[in-house]
Amino acid sequence: MIETISTERDRRSRTGWFGFFFFVIVTLATVLVVIARSNRGAAIEVCELIRKNYFRAAEPEVRSFLSKCSSEAESEPATLSKKVEIARINRRLSGLKTSHLSVYTPVENKQLWTNERLDTGIRARRIDGEIVVYRLIEESPAVKAGLKPGDAIVMINGEAADEDEAVSAPGIYKIARGHKLFDVEIMTEDISEDLGPRLIPLEAGIGHLRIGSFLPQYFDGDRWPKIVARLKSFGSLVIDVRGNAGGSFPAALRALSPFVCGERAVGSLWTSAPKTDDGDGGGDSVQRVLPNDLEASPQLDALNGSGRLELRTFSDYRCYEGPVVVLVDEGTSSVAEIFAEGFFERSNSRIWGVPTAGQVVMARWFEIGSLGGGDYAMAIPIAGYRTAKGKDLERQGVDPQKILIYDLEQALRGQDSWLNQAIHAVSK
């Protein structure tokens, strides 16, 4: 009798554990199915967002792309990884060959808007096959490790340093400094880099105006007006927008205004379906002027009420008329290209370097609800840009008047050969 009771109890116990595991497995499977459907839903959602908001959505080529986009999104294998799904979406979006069309993770979003990321603090460029440090972020791990401008990075974690971006990785760095070769460990820290405008005195009354970004926070408040007030103390300037990835349209116009000395039309933003005065699509498009407001809402409101939004510099800035050399490179992008292009119409100005990125549209950000919203978002171009002379900078960029090539010997001495050439030019 006791043995019978024990056997029955064991059977119930086994049945109970089986039921528990079955419940866990079913629950887990349900969760995985929901995640997979959510990720697939993100691909479909992205296609619809482009259809509703991309300013070229009505063009035949784009309509064909969107039809394929939706069918592929609905039929592609499901994935459980948001990262994998985002990479897949972005590969598909690259088919449109337009800038500022991409989905971003929360980490990427944070980096774009605050310049904050895990970083060594090293800024390096490839020159004649060498990766040479040209700048270090103050108080960064690289500074603490003893690196200096002019150091050549030979290896990182035992592998050849073959990519400029690799200098953001933590580990053991093999450094060449002159005839010395040594190893140093460099870790990463969460660094927020200040890319706002800085005016640095150089030799013989020359100023070096470095503008690393046109994000709105750098041109809000009195930081920029204070720099403008100091410009008059310099007989000539080197304005450096190398690596400037852009930011706010009004911020770029605020930066340009002191150099064109008054209100002037720079270019215009346009959409493919402009509204008209008579509302029937047959009249001239309504034209408004981009407001001097760093907030996004007034800019969008002005654009939504017009098929063409004129960009004009602002008159409430002191005028600087001295000689200027503007330095640009392939990292000069978006509104930084508009800023640089503006100097072609200014006397006493030269634009030197290499052709810019050619990525000039107005983009708006949209949350991706299927990925959870929040900082999972995508940028979609909602307007194109043309200069006052009708030049489309998208895919074309700014062609400098003089092509510059970095000098390796100067770089290894911690010097910037482009800056040296610009200084020599404005000092004449």
pLDDT at 79: 67
pLDDT at 21: 53
pLDDT at 34 over 80: no
- Lowest pLDDT segment from 12-26, 185-199, 307-321: 12-26
Once rounded to an integer, what is the mean pLDDT over residues 224-229?
Answer: 96
- Backbone torsions φ then ψ of 396, nearest 5 degrees: -105, -45
Q: Give the pair of three-digit tokens for residue 234.
A: 């310099």
Q: How far apart are the C-alpha atoms of 137 and 253, rounded to whole Å?
A: 27
Q: How far apart are the C-alpha atoms of 131 and 123, rounded to whole Å?
A: 10
pLDDT at 302 over 60: yes
Q: Is the dihedral of CA 401, 266, 248, 372 positive or negative?
A: negative
Query: For residue 316, what pLDDT band results from cuts at 50, 70 and 90?
Result: confident
pLDDT at 392: 93
Q: How far apart are the C-alpha atoms of 390 and 394, rounded to whole Å?
A: 12
Cα separations in angstroms, 167 against 149, 377, 428:
13, 27, 38
Q: How far apart are the C-alpha atoms of 374 and 401, rounded to whole Å?
A: 44
pLDDT at 283: 38
Torsion angle (degrees, nearest 10) of CA 393, 395, 399, 405: 140
Query: For residue 33, what pLDDT band results from cuts at 50, 70 and 90?
Result: very low
CA 47 distance to own-chain centroid: 22
pLDDT at 7 over 70: no
pLDDT at 14: 56
Q: How far apart are the C-alpha atoms of 311 and 302, rounded to whole Å?
A: 11
**Chain-wide mean pLDDT for the chain?**
87
Percent of the chain at pLDDT exceeding 90: 67
SS3 132: strand
Looking from the CA of 355 toward its CB, the CA atoms found within 13 Å total: 9
Tens digit of pLDDT for each residue in 331-374? 999 999 999 999 999 999 999 999 999 999 999 999 988 887 67
Q: Does pTM surpass 0.85?
A: yes
Tens digit of pLDDT for each residue in 79-137? 658 888 889 899 999 999 999 999 999 888 888 888 888 999 999 999 999 999 999 99
Tens digit of pLDDT for each residue in 153-208? 999 999 888 766 678 889 999 999 999 999 999 999 999 899 999 999 998 899 99
Cα separations in angstroms, 81 against 42, 85, 195:
12, 6, 33
Once rounded to an integer, what is the mean pLDDT over residues 246-265?
Answer: 95
CA-based nearest residue to 152, from 175, 186, 129: 175
pLDDT at 240: 98
The continuous run of DSSP H or E covering 351 comes out as strand 349-353
- Lowest pLDDT segment from 13-27, 90-104, 264-278, 395-409: 13-27
Q: How far apart are the C-alpha atoms of 272 and 58, rounded to whole Å?
A: 8
pLDDT at 80: 58
Once rounded to an integer, what is the mean pLDDT over residues 382-397?
Answer: 94
SS3 222: coil
